[in-house]
Amino acid sequence: MNRVFAVLLLVFVSAPQGLAGQSLLGSRGLGLPIEPLDARSRALGSVGVGLLGPALLPTDPASAAGMAFPALEITLQPQWTEGTMGEETDHTQGTRFPVMGFSYPVYSLGGAVTLTMGGFMDQRWELRRESTTELGGTTVPLVEELRSEGGVTTVRLGWAQRLGEDLAIGVGFGSQAGSVSRTFTRTLIDTEPGLEVIPYQVRSEWQYSGLSATLGARWDPVDFLRLAGTATWSSSLKADPSEGTEGDGAEFELPMELRLGASGLLTPNLIMNLGLAYAGWSHSAGGLREEDLAGPVWSFGGGLEWTGTELRSRRIPLRVGARKSDLPFRFAGEDPIETLLAGGIGINLTRPQDLLAGGVDMAVERGRREAGSLVETFWRGTLTIRIASW
Amino acid sequence: MATRVKRSVVVGLLFLGSGSLMACREDLTSSLGGDLIPVSAVTVEGRLPFSEFAEDLQVWEGYGTAVQLPTAIVARDYEGLLDAHTLVSWFGYPTSASVRDTLGSTRTDTVLTFVGGKVVARFDTLSSVVDGPTTLALGALETEWDPGSVTWTLAVDSVGDRRPWPEEGAGPVMPLSTAEWDPAAGDSVVFEIDSVGVALWADTATAKRGARLDAVTEGVRLDLRSVSLSLITRPSINPDTLVNLTVSARSRTFVYDPPPDVSEESIIVGGVPARRTVFSMSLPRELDGPPELCAKVGCPLALKPKSLISASLILRTHAPPAAFQPTDSLRLDVRPVLEPSRLPKSPLGFSLVGPLGVVVPPGHFAGEAGLDVVLPLGAYVEQLLADTSEAPTDVPRTLALLSSFEPLSLYFASFYGPGSPYAPELRLILTVGGEVGIR
């Protein structure tokens, strides 16, 4: 058992920092937002708060209050995107680790400590442009590429505390970290024979730093209903140029994020979840420009979970959900919107009487992002593996 | 239960692993938003005349000798100019041979009588320049000579020992035989040697002097691939039988006249002994022209390593004297001279254009008008530009132009020098771009 935990811990530590980009929208502003949600939340269209049952979510620090055993969760997320703009079509794909977390209950205090690492902004993208230039009286074709690699991750240390049977609160303190490198390459192709030409390349890199704090609470006013809410404050996000980078640094104002969620038992085996989230992005000198921002960002979502299915004494929850979200950064002057439908399944790999609990949640989403003439449709899978035991 | 738990964990990890593998391939490139690239760049070209990027051009010669070449030359009044004689020295005659006696047994015979011989010369029929049957003459050399230093006028030209031929052109010789070579009939010619001639080389000292092979027919240049001596021998244990014993060539070289007459302003590479052209780089720190460049990026334009995407030394071919016209491709190399003060014996650095050099077809040297030969020097010029007073480096500034294989041939590469309208140029291609920002 210890060996298994050691292996999983190694995966946790060595995994890439959860940021891969598969959207042109990620080339605007601070990138494409990544929500640190697990596969269950994704399948239910949740905004990440107010789900029934214990969970290990950076968006809801109070949700870990009910966890009886030390637990480890890892989520990975492949995505395939098809983008069209005008008459042109392009395909991108990639994978990311949006959230990883560990919780450890402290029975003497009636709470649990959590450590999570979740994605915040995806800044991995590459733009390509083909052109020509005149060289020695000859027209030479060329390709220009701008590649961005990296992103922003939030590492949080949290505490979830039960206050009686119906109430729990949670706090989380975190640090934003990560880096982004941007490389511009201009390559002449098909030059005259004998002429050796290397690509022109300029690379800059910045390191991110910032702080964040999350406060959350959940309340079960009756047995069949849960209400929850969180507020996340972030300091400004500083981007300091690395050594050798000629570009200036920047300081971005990050918004206060508010999330509200509710879950209710419609029948003993049917759960409904609804939620909304709000973030008030603002521009600042030396940071995000007004024309880059789409304004306040709202997100709504909800879904149903059926828990009545069992296979060989193990529960197999089935989930469906939908969600609509604004995206914070304009693309070509247009406000982008993301809509998606989701479905998923959970597999408990162990029986209730087992001391070791292990499970896998999977979600599949079909989504669409629109911003003016840009339309992206995507398939996104989310896989969460969790294990809990003494 | 423990087994089940382990199995469950393994299954979970397999899910995780397979999922990761499935989507690990990242493909982020998109051509849809190309117009959104917020970086602009301009590519321009600049050509520096020789005087603006180099100085102190010198031609050094004496690298390698004809004995190192795989072919020797025989020529007579070739292109109205060139005479060349091939010299060959022999090892000593064999002192014994295994011979079948009258009873059919093989025995070693140490009493051999050489009654005659044949010298067989084999030519390269493709590279030789000859119109038809050609008469050749073979003579025995009467003077000792040194294969490593012999020239048309000197039999020995080494340190402290300088001995001229009694007669220029590796003479005199004692005529031994003549033969006619018809290229249409084959690639070899046989010189019949009588017993008197064979006796001339019986002594090891005279064998070492060897023979001289001349062309009698005028206007030819023959490339000789090999020469061998075959002795017709009468063994004492079976006098009714004649056997052939082969004597290998100890060394083979050639001497020629006249040496190529080349202008001091020319750039010469190759030949035998090989020549190298050496010059020092003195790059400017900024460009102030041409007008097309200034119109695009403004002048003066600072030369920075990161802007440089191509640098090429452009040489223009110049037809050498017809007798030294290349008949096969040449390979040009450029190497840094590590200790210019020790020239012509300075060690050289690694090749700047690759181990096999830049191939120049022979046709480039056929006409008077210069054709461009491009020698890529991008990485080297980038190092030169990075060598500033603030960040000095020890990159060598003196370069040598030489043949990749030295010596390669009698012919050589000739280029217009600095004083010519076809003087060398340094072609620079630069890309000037804006900064990559985070916003």
- The number of folded domains in chain B is 2
Same domain, B278 and B385: yes
Q: Which of B23, B38, B45 sits opposite A136 (nearest CB)?
A: B45
Same-domain pairing of B186 and B210: yes
Q: Is A207 a member of any domain?
A: no
Residues B221 and B285 in one domain: no
Spatial separation of the C-alpha atoms in residues A302 and A223, rounded to whole Å = 20
Determine contact: B102 vs chain A, CB below 8 A: no
A139 is a domain residue: no
Same domain, B295 and B236: no
Report B:348-367 residues touching A (Cβ under 8 A).
358
* Closest residue of chain A to B44, computed from CA coordinates: A135
Instruction: Tell me the residue length of chain A.
Output: 390
Q: Has residue A227 been placed in a domain? A: yes
Q: Does B214 have pLDDT greater than 50?
A: yes
Residue A181, in any domain of the structure: no
Is the residue at B167 inside a domain? Answer: yes
Q: Which of B209, B225, B257 is the last residue of a domain?
A: B257
How many other β-carbons are positioned within 10 Å of the β-carbon of residue B180? 13
Domain boundary among B192, B224, B257: B257
Q: Chain B within 8 Å of A209 (Cβ-Cβ)? A: no
| Residue B246, pLDDT score | 93
Do residues B101 and B207 share a domain? Answer: yes
The token pair that represents A236 in the structure block = 């400004």
- Return the pLDDT at B352: 95
Q: Is B103's Cβ below 8 Å from some Cβ in A?
A: no
Least Cα distance to A22 among B30, B437, B18, B22 occurs for B30
Q: What percentage of residues in chain A have a pLDDT greater than 70?
A: 93
* Residue B20 included in any domain: no
DSSP H or E segment with residue B220: strand B220-235
| Alpha carbons A357 and A390: distance in angstroms, whole number | 10
List chain B residues with CB under 8 Å of A204: 435-438
A178 is a domain residue: no
State pLDDT tens for residues B366-424. Answer: 876 789 999 999 999 999 999 887 778 889 999 999 999 999 999 999 999 998 999 99
Which chain B residue lies closest to A143 (C-alpha atoms)? Answer: B34
- Average of pLDDT values for A171-181? 95
Query: Cα(B353)–Cα(A359) distance, rounded to whole angstroms?
Result: 61
| B105/B188 same-domain check | yes
**Rounded average pLDDT over A239-254:** 88
Q: How far is B64 from chain A (nearest CA, A)?
A: 29
Rounded to a whole number of angstroms, the distance from the CA of A268 to the nearest CA of chain B is 28
Contacts of B312 in chain A (CB under 8 A): 194-196
Count up the domains in chain A and report the number.
1
* Structural domain includes residue B391: yes
> Which amino acid does the sequence have at A192?
E
Question: What is the CATH classification number for the domain harbouring A362?
Answer: 2.40.160.60
Task: Please tell me whether residues B319 and B177 are part of one structural domain.
Answer: no
Structural domain containing residue A274: 36-115+152-172+213-388
Q: Which of B8, B309, B312 sits opposite A349 (nearest CB)?
A: B8
> In this structure, are B301 and B416 located in the same domain?
yes
| pLDDT tens readout for residues A289-327 | 888 888 899 999 999 999 998 887 778 899 999 999 999
- What CATH number corresponds to the domain at position B337? 2.60.120
ipTM over 0.90: no
Asked if residue B105 and residue B213 are part of one domain, the reply reads: yes
Rounded distance, CA A112 to CA A123, Å? 33
Q: What is the DSSP letter of B317?
A: B
Q: B78-82 — which CB contacts under 8 Å span 24+ positions?
A: B78/B129, B78/B219, B78/B220, B78/B221, B78/B323, B79/B219, B79/B221, B79/B321, B79/B322, B79/B323, B79/B325, B80/B219, B80/B322, B81/B258, B81/B321, B81/B322, B81/B323, B82/B221, B82/B256, B82/B257, B82/B258, B82/B323, B82/B324
Q: Which amino acid is at B117?
A: G
The predicted pLDDT at position B33 comes to 59
Q: What is the pLDDT of residue B276?
A: 95
B264 & B189 share domain: no
Domain of B386 in residue numbering reads as 41-63+260-433
Domain end call among B257, B274, B304: B257
Q: Is residue B4 part of a domain?
A: no
3-state SS assignment for residue B200: helix
B16/A206 touch (CB, cutoff 8 Å), yes or no: no
A364 touches chain B (CB under 8 A): no
Chain B CB contacts of A83 below 8 Å = 30, 32
pLDDT at residue A14 tops 50: no
Considering the domain boundaries, does residue B74 fall inside one? no
Give A203's contacts in chain B (Cβ within 8 Å). 436
- Shortest CA gap B434–chain A (Å): 9
Of B23, B34, B439, the CB nearest to A95: B23
> Is there a contact between B439 and A1 if contact means CB atoms under 8 Å apart?
no
Give the Cα-Cα-Cα angle B226, B227, B232 (nearest 5 degrees): 140
